[in-house]
Amino acid sequence: MAQVKILEGAEEFALGSGPVGALLVHGFTGSPQGMRGLGEFLAGKGIAVLAPRLPGHGTTWEDLNSRTAHEWIAEVENAFHRMAAERDEVFIVALSFGATLALDFAARYPDEVAGLVTLAGMVMTKDPRRHLAPVIKRLTRSVPGVGNDIADPTGKEIAYDRLPTGAAYYMLRFLKSARLGLPAVRCPVLVMHGRQDHTVHPSNAQLILDSVGSQDKELVWLDRSYHVVTLDYDRDEVFERTYEFIKGHSSHAL
């Protein structure tokens, strides 16, 4: 496959050091840029962070359209195990479809994840087009994008302005298998979601909370934010609550 240029600011990043790690997973059509502010905050609190770039993201929508869920699943696995090889414990903090991938990983490796934070997490969609996804991908290669669902006008996400229909088909198909695996998630879970999210319906938050097998779980509603909560009005609360969750569930002093 030909090398595709990565958009400036959309690169994978690693920050901080120490025995506690946080794997930051971005959403569909987004990039690690959407997680950078959170990553810098956590690194400043003594937590090592790694934000991988999912295959096909941070480049072009055409590149993403050539990818499948297997590649995104593998990237999360590889990134987690890279962190786990150097840290005593690893938490996952994931946005949107990144949370789908994180929940799937936590279900398959229930004893390896120290804790999981889902931000605008997605395990189902109410978009009526989901039923037509196999047909739509044959009719057109892309439709208008869903990025930058942000209430704060100063928030800007590096995301595609087109939604690639082939990749979207694989993403939607993966939702079902991830949702079925939720009872196998046993690690502590913090769910945060914007009440005004226009991209991932807020009902996903309660579904995640009710479905995971974790005994230690909490739901926090964000009243002022839309979808990209790491870049929106409630970002400071998101950062602080994420840190407090990791601190409260870590075996190390932070």
Cβ 252 vs Cβ 20: under 8 Å: yes
Angle among Cα 151, 157, 159 to the nearest 5 degrees reads: 125
Q: Which of 31, 193, 227, 234 is catalytic?
A: 227
Q: Which of 63, 104, 149, 197 is catalytic?
A: 197
227 has catalytic annotation = yes
Give the H or E element holding residue 115: strand 113-119
Distance CA 55, CA 98 (A): 12
Distance CA 132, CA 140 (A): 12
Q: Which of 26, 57, 63, 96 is catalytic?
A: 96
96 has catalytic annotation = yes
At residue 191, the 3 state secondary structure works out as: strand
Distance CA 69, CA 55 (A): 9
Neighbours of 161 (CB within 10 A): 12
203 has catalytic annotation = no
Catalytic residues: 96, 197, 227
